[in-house]
Structure 1
Amino acid sequence: MGYLLIFLSNALLSALSITNLGLISSMVGFLHHEKDHVGTYRVDWPDNTVHLKVLPEHLWVDQGHTSNGVAGYGFFLGLFGLYVAWRQKKRQGNKPSQTLSALCILLFLAVLFTLSAIIFVYLVTYQTDGQQISPAVAQSDVAYPADKWTPETWFLSVLDLPLADPAQRHNIHCKVVNMKVWRWMLLPIFAVDVLAFAFSTVELIKQRKGMRQPPFKFEN
C-alpha cells in the first residue's frame, strides 16, 4: 500500500508541476510577444492620447523565475518518485531502500523550496497590488517610470485604462487570468509536496523498523 501512495502523490506532483510550467511559459511568451511585436498600447484618455509602452521601466520578474524553478523541480522530482515507487513494489529483503531515502531528502527540499517561493511570490504581488497608471506620468513611447510592478499587477492596471483596441484588452485579460492561475497553483503543489514527503517518510520509517526487528524464534 505504501508504494501506491508514493506513486499517486508523485504522479500528481508531476502533473501539477508540468501544468504550472506551461502556464508560466505562456506568460513569458506573452511578455516577449508584446515587447517585440506590439510595442505600445494606444490609451485614449479624455484630454490626451498616449501610446504607452507595453512594459514598465521597473518590472519585477524574479517571482516568475522562482516559480518556474519550483515547477521544473517538481516535475522531474515527481518522475523520480514514480521510479522509486516502482522499485518499492519489486523490493525484496529488509534493508531500507537507498532510493527511497534519496526521495525523502529531495521531497523535503521541495517542501522548503515551494514554501519559500509562495512567501516570495505573494509578498511581491501584494506589495505592488492596487497601483494605478497615472495619466500625468505616462508618456508616448516611453516605459512607464513610476513604481515597481509584477507582470500581473502591471497588466491589471493596464486593463483599467481606456484602451483603444478591444482585441488587445481581451488578450490582456486572458493572460492576466493565466498569471493569477499559476500563482495560485503554487498552493496545491506545496500541499502535494507535503503529502508525497509524508508518504515516503512513513514508508522509510517502516523499512527501518523492519530491519531493527529481531527475527522470531520458537522457544523449546
Structure 2
Amino acid sequence: MAFLPIFLSSALLSALSISNLGLISSMVGFLHKQKDDIGTYQINWPGNTVQLVVEPQHLWVDQGHTSNGVAGYGFFLGLFGLYVAWRQRKRQGRAPSKTLLALFILQLLAVLFTLSALIFVFVVTNQTKGQHISESIARSNIAYPADKWTPETWFTAVLELPMDDHHHHDNIHSKVVNMRAWRWMLIPIFLTDILAFGFTTAELARQRKGTKQPEYSAEK
C-alpha cells in the first residue's frame, strides 16, 4: 500500500508539530505573565538587594516566532499529507495527481524552512549562552542593559542568582526545560520533514513511471 508511508509520516509530522507548538505557546504565556504580573525578581546578593526586571533590555524573540511558524506549518502540512495519502490509497496505473504534486512542493518548502529555522535558532542560542548577570551592572527596576539574550539563555542566567522567592526559581526552571525542549524538537521535526518528503517523492516518481499519460489527472 503506497499511501501508508505518506500517511504515517504525515501523522508523525502533525503530532510533533502540535507538541512543539504547545511548548512554544507555554513559553510565550510565561513571558507575558512574568512581564505583566510579576515585574521584578528580588535578588539577594550579599549586602545588596536588587529588584531585577524580569526581562533584559536586549531580548531576542525572533527565534521563537520562527520556530512557532515551523510548528504551525508542519501541523497543517501533516493534515494535508493525511488527506493526500488517503486519496492515493486506490490509485493504480493512473497519472500523478495534482494534490500529490502540491504535497511534494509544500514538503520541499517545509524542509527548507525547517532547516533555516534550525540553523537560526541554534546559532542565536550559541551566541548568547554562557553569559552571566553581573551584580555590578544590575540595578533595581531597570531592565538589565548588558549583552543580548534569548529567553532560554536569560532565564538560565537568572537561575544562577540568589533569588528571594523559591517558587519563582522552581517555575523558571520548569520553563527553561520547556524552552530547551522546543529548541531540540526542531531536529525530529526536520528529520520527519525529510522522511515525508522522501516518501512523497518516491510515490510521485512511481506514478510517473507507471503511466504513459503526459498530463496530470483531473483530480484536485
TM-score range, shorter chain: over 0.9
Matched position secondary structure for 1:172: helix
**Within 5 A, what are the aligned runs for 1:97-136?**
97-136=97-136
Give 1:210 shift.
Answer: 0.6
Q: In the aligned structure 1, how far is the partner of 2:205 from the partner of 2:91?
A: 15
> Match of 1:24, as an amino acid?
I
Deviations 1:21-54 (A, max 9, x none): 0000000000000000000000000120000000
When normalised by structure 2's length, the TM-score is 0.95
Match of 1:2 in 2: 2
**Within 5 A, what are the aligned runs for 1:57-206?**
57-91=57-91, 93-206=93-206
Identity of aligned residues (%): 71
Q: In the aligned structure 2, how far is the partner of 1:132 from the partner of 1:85?
A: 50
Q: In the aligned structure 2, how far is the partner of 1:20 from the partner of 1:3?
A: 26
Following TM superposition, the consecutive aligned residue runs of length 4 or more in structure 1 with deviations greater than 6 angstroms are: none
Give 1:203 shift.
Answer: 0.3
Matched position secondary structure for 1:42: strand
Give 1:175 shift.
Answer: 0.1
Give 1:97 shift.
Answer: 1.2
Matched position secondary structure for 1:212: coil
> Match of 2:164, as an amino acid?
A
Q: In the aligned structure 1, how far is the partner of 2:138 from the partner of 2:30?
A: 22
Match of 2:209 in 1: 209
Q: Structure 1: any 5+ residue segments left out of the alignment?
A: 214-220
Q: What value does the CA root-mean-square deviation take over the aligned residues?
A: 0.9
Q: In the aligned structure 2, how far is the partner of 1:84 from the partner of 1:93?
A: 17
Deviations 1:71-93 (A, max 9, x none): 00000000000000000013355
Match of 2:32 in 1: 32
Q: In the aligned structure 2, how far is the partner of 1:198 from the partner of 1:93?
A: 21
Q: In the aligned structure 2, how far is the partner of 1:160 from the partner of 1:119?
A: 27
Q: In the aligned structure 1, how far is the partner of 2:97 from the partner of 2:35?
A: 51
| Bigger-Rg structure (1/2) | 1
When normalised by structure 1's length, the TM-score is 0.95
Count of aligned positions: 213
- Answer whether contact 2:93 2:210 (CA < 8 A) is retained: no
- Answer whether contact 2:93 2:207 (CA < 8 A) is retained: no
Match of 1:47 in 2: 47
Give 1:160 shift.
Answer: 0.3
Q: In the aligned structure 1, how far is the partner of 2:91 from the partner of 2:161?
A: 62
Match of 2:217 in 1: none
Q: In the aligned structure 1, how far is the partner of 2:97 from the partner of 2:108?
A: 17
Q: In the aligned structure 1, how far is the partner of 2:209 from the partner of 2:166?
A: 65
> Match of 1:105, as an amino acid?
I
